[in-house]
């Protein structure tokens, strides 16, 4: 039996809807400048909430991306998905009129999905009767609808489904897209994740789980990964789409290639529903697998975009995992946290952070971890504190870890023909 030859996979398009920018360029500019997206919540009355702030989108209008009828029939998490897809498709330069759409897929996830829709329709039920529930309730609620809506918009008939793995969701979607293109099941896949969880139930639930910061007097300083005074994460919202494509397909249509994705690592902690495994054991294996998958050495890694949530356990364990795996080389690696500015976008985190990694490969700039003021003896790596740096970066890994013990690591490298 002949051995299957895997194809190279590259990134040819990107789109981002984030609390610090509604385009990739605006998002990247604000990352480099250390802009925080955290501010008091304006979507609902927070009088009785211990946490009164989040990283909301600024000036997002779904009617800039879709007509009013569609905007009213999809949950915000799907609005964000469609908006990000719009920019990603435009940046990719794909002409859908002269391409085989059966070879193009959509793999797109969300950690929680249509929670705003659920809250609204549940109130209709309690206040009135079942007849007041919208006929669009179910298709607005379920997580796969974002992937379905993207495929419908562009007529894409290849692999189409959603991933759901809490904060690792988007990275799992990207990993699946990578594998499907590698093995020849598709030539192009739109992939990523979106989240819209700044709602009373979601914020209240995460407060009760003890996960959110309560630094209400200084919300812009609340997300402080690896800082000794960190007290929880900041909820964010938004979405991002990456266009993954086989190298052959990209070259055939003379596409701009932003970066190459060449390794993935997927593991489970099998330890606890919310707490990471001691010492970051699952993260160690996840990063190691991604590097081996790319046929690289530990010393090849220049930069790690960390999960870096600003929670006590995650930041300590991720630091431990990096030191355990890389040994002395850990001190040479720049480690930062995008979440220090965007907050935690849950199921979209892996996608917006993948874009930050790719922009670093393109520009050789690494954005800072803001709000780093008080060093933690248990977090003693170089976290690019408070100011962006220039550094030669050829290989970067992005970590995302989710409730349930899900670990995903993506490895990107500068594209070389």
Sign of the C-alpha dihedral, residues 384, 387, 388, 391?
negative
Q: Where are the beta strands (DSSP E) in 196-340?
A: 238-246, 259-268, 303-305, 334-336
Q: 73: burial class by Cβ within 10 Å (0-12, 13-18, 19+)?
A: middle
Could you give the dihedral angle defined by the CA atoms of residues 65, 67, 72 and 74, in that order, rounded to the nearest 10 degrees?
-50
Quick one: which of 53, 55, 71 has its CA closest to 63? 71
DSSP run (H or E) holding 398: strand 395-402
CA–CA dist 349, 399 (Å, integer): 10
Q: Which of 172, 272, 344, 367 is catalytic?
A: 344
Cα–Cα distance, 412 to 398 (Å, whole number): 8
Is 344 considered catalytic here?
yes
- Check if 172 is active-site: no
Which of 172, 271, 307, 406 does the annotation list as catalytic? 307
Q: Are strands 104-109 and 9-17 parallel, antiparallel or unpaired?
A: unpaired
Cα-based angle 363, 364, 368 (whole degrees, multiple of 5): 100
What 3-state class would DSSP assign to 75? coil
Give the CA count within 13 Å in the CB-facing half-sphere of 248.
8
Q: What are phi and psi of 192, to 5 degrees?
A: 155, -145
List the structure tokens of 287: 């990063």
- Name the token pair of 35: 């802009």
CA distance 100 to 157: 9
The token duo for 139 is 């298709």
Q: Cβ atoms within 10 A of the Cβ of 245, count?
A: 29
User: CA dist 392 to 176, 306, 364, Å?
Assistant: 29, 18, 6
First CA to last CA distance, the chain: 30
Q: Is 367 a known active-site residue?
A: no
Active-site annotation, residues:
167, 307, 344
């Amino acid at each position: 039996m002949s051995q299957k030859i895997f194809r190279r996979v590259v990134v040819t398009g990107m789109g981002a809807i984030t609390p610090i920018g509604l385009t990739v360029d605006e998002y990247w500019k604000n990352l480099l400048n250390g802009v925080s997206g955290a501010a008091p919540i304006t979507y609902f009355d927070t009088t009785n909430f211990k946490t009164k702030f989040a990283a909301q989108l600024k000036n997002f209008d779904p009617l800039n991306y879709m007509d009013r009828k569609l905007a009213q029939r999809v949950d915000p998490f799907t609005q964000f998905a469609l908006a990000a897809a719009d920019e990603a498709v435009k940046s990719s330069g794909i002409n859908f009129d002269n391409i085989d759409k059966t070879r193009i897929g959509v793999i797109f996830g969300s950690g929680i999905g249509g929670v705003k829709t659920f809250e609204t329709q549940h109130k209709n039920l309690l206040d009135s009767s079942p007849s007041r529930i919208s006929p669009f309730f179910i298709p607005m609620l379920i997580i796969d609808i974002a992937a379905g809506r993207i495929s419908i918009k562009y007529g894409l008939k290849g692999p189409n489904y959603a991933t759901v793995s809490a904060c690792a969701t988007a990275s799992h979607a990207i990993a699946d897209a990578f594998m499907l293109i590698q093995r020849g099941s598709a030539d192009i896949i739109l992939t990523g994740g979106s989240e819209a969880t700044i709602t009373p139930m979601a914020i209240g639930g995460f407060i009760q789980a003890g996960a959110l910061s309560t630094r209400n007097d200084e919300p812009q300083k609340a997300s402080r990964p690896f800082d000794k005074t960190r007290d929880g994460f900041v909820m964010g919202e938004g979405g991002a789409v990456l266009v993954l494509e086989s190298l052959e397909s990209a070259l055939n249509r003379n596409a701009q290639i932003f970066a190459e994705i060449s390794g993935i690592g997927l593991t489970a902690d099998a330890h606890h529903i919310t707490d990471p495994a001691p010492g970051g054991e699952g993260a160690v294996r996840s990063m190691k697998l991604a590097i081996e998958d790319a046929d690289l050495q530990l010393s090849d890694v220049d930069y790690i975009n960390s999960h870096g949530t600003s929670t006590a356990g995650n930041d300590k364990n991720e630091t431990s995992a990096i030191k355990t795996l890389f040994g002395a080389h850990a001190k040479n690696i720049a480690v930062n946290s995008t979440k220090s500015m965007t907050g935690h976008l849950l199921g979209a985190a892996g996608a917006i952070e993948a874009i930050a990694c790719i922009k670093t490969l393109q520009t050789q700039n690494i954005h800072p971890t803001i709000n780093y003021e008080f060093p933690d003896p248990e977090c003693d790596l170089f976290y690019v504190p408070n100011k962006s740096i220039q550094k030669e970066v050829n290989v970067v890994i992005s970590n995302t870890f989710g409730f349930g013990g899900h670990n995903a690591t993506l490895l990107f490298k500068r594209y070389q023909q």
